[in-house]
Chains A and B, each alone.
Chain A
Amino acid sequence: MKEKLDALLCDGTAEILAAENENELQVVKGKYLGKDGLVTKLLKEIPTLDVSLRPEMGKAVNQVKNALGEKIDARREEIKNKAFAISPDFDCTVPGLTPQIGGLHPITQMCYDLNDAFRSMGFEVFSGPEITSEYFAFDNLNFPPNHPARESMDTYWLEGHDSGEANEKLCLRPHLTGDSVRYMQTHKPPYRFVYPGRVYRNETTDARHERAFFQYEALIVDKDFTYTAGKVMIKSILSKVFGQDVPVRMRAGFFPFVEPGFEIDMGCLVCGGKGCSVCKHVGWIEIMPGGTPHPNVLRAAGVDPDEYTGFYVNIGLDRLVMMRYGVDDVRMFHSTDLRFLTQFR
């Protein structure tokens, strides 16, 4: 019996090691340790042996049983570990499978960034019609009939609607400010709103000039709103949009919709104000005009300028986006070229 046991251990071990997978191992386990397994059979034979041999043989058979059991467990672990191993020539440097690239237009992105910033300060978003009458484009915005600004904003008039009274002449809007009057006429003060949108000017285009561009205006109208509060507002907005503290300065400027008027500069983020080619070596970049809405504009909107004042800014989004990404030709924005548009994330 002893020899038989040795042979069982030897064969069993060999068969265990030869098992290539869990199933084969199960078969080997059944053959030796199962209900009718070879080792089990020997165990069953113990009671038939001579009494004096029983303890020793019982022990020996159990040892073999345990040994095989352990080997099976060990082999099972080995198989598990080996079973899902990937061939070592797998290449982890192959590029990932990316979804097709999609995205918002870079100007939309900037517009939404600004919307988020302004809405966090309680501003509403408003948009007016893109076809407007001369009345809303110029007349009620403090542009006297002969004002040169009417010429400088060379306007796209619509055929068949390009003469007659101001309220009959129709054009693609040359600026957004008319929208502010539309909003104020239909709401009650105090006001706090932004009105982004496209505007159109009949100009010759080049790398810095476009016929269609995107402006972003914001207006607060409240009692005794000072320009210094306006400065704080602009600083907060820009700091949120650009993700860092942005120095802001306001200096004298002139625009027909405002009085007093300002040119608003932001500290150059490229050089940190030290002076570089982007800021023409002055450390500041002119980004928007702004100021207190002109009393005539408030009057046109039915607001009493003695009671109310406010603050207005007009951000040229094209320019801001050009600065954000270093785009050097404004015409790219309307190019529809996906090689350009898919660069912005």
Chain B
Amino acid sequence: MKLSLNWIKDFVKLPDDLTMSQLAFDLTMATVEVEGVHDLSKQFDGIVVGVINEVLPHPNADKLRVCKVDIGADEIKEIVCGGSNLEAGMKVVVACPGAMVRWHGEGEPVEIKNTKLRGVASFGMICAAVEVGLSDLFPTDDDHAIMDISYLDVKPGINLADALDLNDMILEIDNKSMTNRPDLWGHYGIARELAALYDLPLKDIEKYVPETDTAYDVRILDTERCPRYIGAKIENLSVKEAPFYMQSRLWRVGLRPINALVDITNYVMLAVGQPTHVFDSNHIIDHIEVRRADEGEKLQLLNDKEIELCTDDLVIADSEGAVALAGVMGGAKDSVLPDTESVILEVANFNSHGVRRTALRYDNRTEASARYEKAIDPERCDLAVTLSMELFKELYPEMKVVAYCDSYPNKLVKKEIDVDFDWLDRRLGMRIPQEVVSKKLGSMGYEVTFTEKGMHIVVPTWRSTGDVSIKADIMEEVARMYGYENFQPTSITTTFDGAINQLRVDLVRKIKEYLSFRCNMQEIFTYPWMTDTFVNALLPDTNEVFALSTPPSPSEKYVRSTLLPNICKAIVKNERNFPEFAIFEEAKIFRDCNYAHEYDEKEALPYERRHLGCAFVGSPDKVTELFRTAKGVIGMMPRYTHMEEFTFKKVEKPYWADETVWLNVFLGEKKIGDLALLSHKAKTDCGIKVVSAVLVEIDMDSLIPFKSRTNRFVHIPEFPMNEYDLSFLVDSMVKWEDIYSACMLKKSGDSLLKDVRFVDEYKGKQIPKGKKSVTIRLVIGSSEKTLTGEEIEAAAKSVLKKLTKNLGAEIRS
């Protein structure tokens, strides 16, 4: 919202030494955010009134003229101009060199310079209204007409801002910062706030006393939706231009002047924040009624849009039908026309929620509906009527109010609040003298009476529509008026109540840090919805998968029940830039089942679990490495993050997994996840072009963090351990697990074989078909002595014997 400082000054006399930056700061800290302040006169720097003494033809151009222009201080300048309405004696707007104008009203402002036009030197420029930003105030149909200000009684050379009284400061207020303050949506409201801030008197607006006894027929049929309606029939009017000051003020705060009758309503709204409306009284048949619309009733609005109403809409109607959408917009039929001579002035109060619903329903939010939506108090109608009548009188001295009605069936009840001083002091953290408190509240319109322990406060009507209702609100009023920046900082005190120990929170972080910093994987974030392509590729069905009522797009309706579809989407996104990478995501998954009352007996929430999803991505000829990396990363995770160990088993193949390369992750007897190669079909269906991926998904909520570090110290061996590598051929279907078991077969406690490790396996050239070469490393040692070479050799031989016997292993020659 834009505000004119001059307009505010109509209602409160601000101190002369108050700077604009101070005012903007004070308002920002205490009331609303001032987004900017700009000096209106600045845009007219170097732009002055000139008088054309002579209009001469241009020697080289038919359409141009050379004007001799008096720009004051005895200076006559030659200015080349193409204006269609140039005449000697005319007062015009001259932009001197250095001034900023907008060429033909378009583009960014440019600086005027001394120049030559078709060979003739020209001092500055004679401007059209559009070039100095005044086309709204000086409208013209002729694109080539320059701005004619001959009517002004001013001397040449005077600055245009002075000549037109455009010296003003414009404040730009962030609308969002005052959605809760309906009282501030006009100059009077801001003036009241400033008066309270600076302890200044606010101009009183006296209640209007009608000059007629004749009642205008107003019938309110829904007093809930329309608590008050003032209707006045005014005669002896005409459609004409509003006075310049009025047009100018409207223009300054962003409204286009239309005609005097409409301008009065807008002016009143901007002054006191109360929308008003005028109907041409000739077109209102019999009376005004405020009622709900009939289902399907039609109404043509002022903007010529025809709408079909419903029973939730409140309309202003005459005996024949709806004439206006209450609080939103007038109808076309009864609007002010060029021949309007008498009007019905409407100053009314409408319920905020109803106006909001109607405005949204027809996508028709207006200046009026925006104000009603904030919940205006019905008492404000009085201010608007008084001001309206003053303006009608001023613009139409002959005007007559011939009928009047103030129907106020639903009186606003002022809120009353009791505040304890002791409570106030404790909450504020300091004692503000009681007189200061009551004075500040008083200047904002609160009626304060002291009670035994505190104050009894009656809230003014303009704050009683929802904004102020409890004692915390009063505390806020006191604190902001005292000045938030005037409170001393206080330190935070607390009683020590045991150290924070959140194992589960810590575990999630440890896992993410383990994956990021030890396993060099990158964390990603994805949306909670999945794209259909990936859902189809990875899920067997969508049973128990949630869908959104209004999804971001038709192909993104499913809410994730697994992290893998989005992870695959991320693979597609990145494979074109990276031949290999590893990513993970930690996020919630959801299923439409297992409802439980975890937090509240009233609320049953569905299955929701924190999952971890990983992808190890690389070239298809490195599937073994990808698989072993994934298995290593997941297998080592418990060691680095201090939780119960996992085991890998093959129990249930994930739908999306390769036929062979898959494992389930187990914690004890519970399956908590999968680790598998994405099948060729799923990969192709996802649109992954080149890379292969080993995916992992684990239910993190099932993980069990250790309460503390639990493992025990083991003595380091006293005698050396010896490593002995064995390479042999076995059938290619033999598993590492089989080899390990065979080595450990019948191993007694005092056996010299301490461990067997996998080193390598190889299939291909030089290896017979159906066989593979495996290299294992035996760890051989004794706890009693240093072994001799012969003893080590013997131990290794006995292992080889077991392998030969049980697996048919042959030593490689």
B-side contacts of A225, CB under 8 Å = 492
Interface residues on B, range: 35 or more
Q: Is the CB of A229 within 8 A of B559?
A: no
A102-B516, A227-B487 known; A170-B606 Cβ under 8 A: yes
Within 8 A of A (CB), among B377-433: 423, 426-429
Q: Is the CB of A253 within 8 A of B577?
A: no
- In Å, the complex CA distance between A226 and B429 comes to 6
Within 8 A of B (CB), among A201-228: 202, 211-212, 220, 222, 224-228
Of the candidate stretches B25-33, B53-61, B450-458, B774-782, the one touching chain A is B25-33
Of the candidate stretches B100-108, B277-285, B440-448, B580-588, the one touching chain A is B580-588
A102-B519, A229-B490 known; A252-B549 Cβ under 8 A: no
B-side contacts of A294, CB under 8 Å = 472
Of the candidate stretches B202-210, B318-326, B476-484, B531-539, the one touching chain A is B476-484
Q: CB of B785 within 8 A of chain A?
A: no
Q: Is the CB of B502 within 8 A of A107?
A: no
Across chains A and B, the number of contacting residue pairs, with CB separation under 8 Å, is 223
A254-B179, A341-B522 known; A135-B480 Cβ under 8 A: no
Minimum Cβ distance to chain A for residue B534 (Å): 12
Q: CB of B473 within 8 A of chain A?
A: yes
A148-B179, A157-B549 known; A182-B599 Cβ under 8 A: yes
Q: CB of B524 within 8 A of chain A?
A: yes
Q: Is the CB of B472 within 8 A of A102?
A: no
B-side contacts of A52, CB under 8 Å = none
Q: CB of A177 within 8 A of chain B?
A: no
Minimum Cβ distance to chain B for residue A27 (Å): 29
Q: CB of A338 within 8 A of chain B?
A: yes
Minimum Cβ distance to chain B for residue A163 (Å): 9
Q: Is the CB of A135 within 8 A of B472?
A: no
Interface residues on A, range: 35 or more
- In Å, the complex CA distance between A268 and B545 comes to 45
Residue of B nearest to A253 (CB): B177
Mask, B484-519, CB within 8 Å of A = 1, is: 110111111011100010100100010011011101
Q: Is the CB of B605 within 8 A of A131?
A: yes
Q: CB of A85 within 8 A of chain B?
A: no
B-side contacts of A105, CB under 8 Å = 523-525
| Prevailing SS type, chain B contact patch | mixed
Q: Is the CB of A200 within 8 A of B528?
A: yes
Minimum Cβ distance to chain B for residue A221 (Å): 11
Within 8 A of A (CB), among B588-613: 588, 590, 592, 598-600, 602-606, 608
Q: Is the CB of A156 within 8 A of B550?
A: yes
- Say which residue of B429, B479, B500, B502 sits within 8 Å of A122 (CB atoms): B500
A-side contacts of B551, CB under 8 Å = 156
Minimum Cβ distance to chain B for residue A223 (Å): 8
- Say which residue of A125, A192, A333, A342 sits within 8 Å of B522 (CB atoms): A342
- In Å, the complex CA distance between A100 and B518 comes to 10
Central interface residue in B519, B548, B574, by most chain A CB within 10 Å: B548
B-side contacts of A119, CB under 8 Å = 500
Q: Is the CB of A107 within 8 A of B525?
A: yes
Q: Is the CB of A158 within 8 A of B546?
A: yes
Q: Is the CB of A337 within 8 A of B502?
A: no
Q: CB of A31 within 8 A of chain B?
A: no
Mask, A257-277, CB within 8 Å of B = 1, is: 001111100000000000000
Within 8 A of A (CB), among B716-737: none
Nearest 9 interchain pairs by C-beta: A260-B476, A226-B429, A102-B520, A336-B570, A146-B353, A254-B180, A159-B547, A100-B520, A259-B472
Task: Beyond A125-B502, A157-B549, A167-B600, list 16 extra A-B contacts (CB 8 Å).
Answer: A104-B516, A105-B523, A119-B500, A130-B590, A131-B608, A133-B602, A135-B603, A148-B373, A156-B548, A159-B548, A172-B559, A229-B489, A249-B29, A253-B177, A338-B578, A342-B522
